[in-house]
Amino acid sequence: MPPERPPSPITDDRAARLRPPLKWAGGKRWLAPQLQRLWYAQSPRRLVEPFCGGLAVALGIDPRRALLNDVNPHPVNFYQHLQKGLTIRLAMRNERDLYYQHRNDFNRLASTRRGSISRKAAELFYFLNRTAYNGLCRFNRKGEFNVPFGRHARINYVRDFDAYRRVLCRWHFSSGDFEALELENDDFIYADPPYDVPFRNYSRYGFDWSEQVRLARWLSRHKGPVVLSNQATERIVALYQSLDFQLAFMQAPRSISRTGDRTPACEVLATRGFD
């Protein structure tokens, strides 16, 4: 690991106040200070996230340039509408019947290309994300959002996302496979793929062990700095060691759990390309 540096200053104090707009299982808000130290000397570069998820890292380190990708098109559609300025007009209440009505509407829109990128789909996705059980994002093989109604006593829904527009307008969002990304040689890549655990239904496509290996090999070929985080399973550790990454270990908070278990999980931070 390179020597630690003090966190870089946030270039826009609005970013320092912005929380990730979505709830996200495995979100890395807790890791942002550590990633800031790695980013400090690299900040003129472009940040690339192949799995941008809930945007905790991008909002935490606030790069001037970023390419933020996710294989799940629905959070990306939501972020692209935040770039335009999103005020939600949808009825939002923490009610079971309304939840399933909106879930059906979302799945109907998501079944068509035009509907899946609509403003209505972005609004519905936000409502489902805030209201679903444990804030999970899960899809079946048909591409249908299938998380049941949550057990929240109270939900504070946000309707006006104008503050995000002023920050996200600097960044480019895409949805697709990580190997399709057009990289620059000096890009700073931070990869946070689905954990190497049994649950892998974050999108309709899944992310099995062969995908973990394909990602690791792709990252190892990049000429610029690379940071990877994942659960420290034996085979993940062995994989990144075999590709000459430097490894550090830490205890990660478990904020969302199907069983209610909040025991910290051991996570690995694998780095490569830091001089």
Residue pLDDT, tens place only, 46-87: 999 999 999 999 999 999 999 999 999 999 999 999 999 999
What is the band of 180 on the pLDDT scale with cuts at 50, 70, 90?
A: very high
Give percent of the chain above pLDDT 90. 79
Q: Given 159, 188, 203, which residue is the final one in a domain?
A: 159
d(CA 272, CA 49): 15
d(CA 57, CA 49): 9
Does the pLDDT at position 170 exceed 80?
A: yes
Tell me the pLDDT of the chain averaged across its residues. 90
CATH assignment at residue 149: 1.10.1020.10
Structural domain for 137, as ranges: 88-159
State how far the alpha carbon of 69 is from the alpha carbons of 160, 249, 260, 270, in Å: 24, 26, 30, 20
The answer as to whether 2 is a domain residue is no
Please tell me whether residues 67 and 182 are part of one structural domain. yes
What is the chain's percent helix, strand, coil content, to nearest 5? 35, 15, 50
Please tell me whether residues 184 and 245 are part of one structural domain. yes
Does the pLDDT at position 264 exceed 90?
A: no
The answer as to whether 4 is a domain residue is no
Q: Given 159, 179, 208, which residue is the final one in a domain?
A: 159
What is the band of 199 on the pLDDT scale with cuts at 50, 70, 90?
A: low
Burial class of residue 112 in the structure, from the number of CB atoms within 10 Å of its CB (0-12 exposed, 13-18 middle, 19+ buried): exposed
Please tell me whether residues 153 and 179 are part of one structural domain. no
Supply angle C-alpha 225, 21, 38, rounded to 5.
20
Residues 6+ apart with CB under 8 A from 59: 15, 18, 19, 20, 32, 167
What is the pLDDT at residue 204?
A: 62
Are the beta carbons of 14 and 163 closer than 8 angstroms?
yes
**Exposure string for 147-160, b = 16+ CB within 10 A, e = fewer:** bebbeeeeeeeeee
Per residue in 1-21, pLDDT tens? 443 443 343 444 444 569 999
Number of domains in the chain: 2
What is the pLDDT at residue 262?
A: 56
The torsion region of residue 124 among left (phi > 0), alpha (psi -120 to 50) and beta comes to alpha
Q: Shortest CA distance to 178 belongs to which of 189, 170, 167, 188?
A: 189
Please tell me whether residues 176 and 119 are part of one structural domain. no
Per residue in 202-257, pLDDT tens? 556 679 999 999 999 999 999 999 999 999 999 999 999 999 999 999 998 865 54
Please tell me whether residues 173 and 235 are part of one structural domain. yes
d(CA 235, CA 200): 16
- DSSP annotation of 142 reads T
What is the pLDDT at residue 206?
A: 74
Please tell me whether residues 177 and 62 are part of one structural domain. yes
Give percent of the chain above pLDDT 70. 88
The widest CA-to-CA distance across the chain, in whole angstroms, is 56
Does the pLDDT at position 263 exceed 70?
A: no
Does the pLDDT at position 117 exceed 80?
A: yes
Least confident stretch, 99-113, 183-197, 238-252, 258-272: 258-272
d(CA 120, CA 231): 35
Q: Shortest CA distance to 95 belongs to which of 45, 155, 39?
A: 155
The answer as to whether 47 is a domain residue is yes
The answer as to whether 7 is a domain residue is no
Q: Shortest CA distance to 230 belongs to which of 257, 211, 205, 249?
A: 249
Cα atoms found within 13 Å of the Cα of residue 231, Cβ hemisphere only:
13
CATH assignment at residue 242: 3.40.50.150
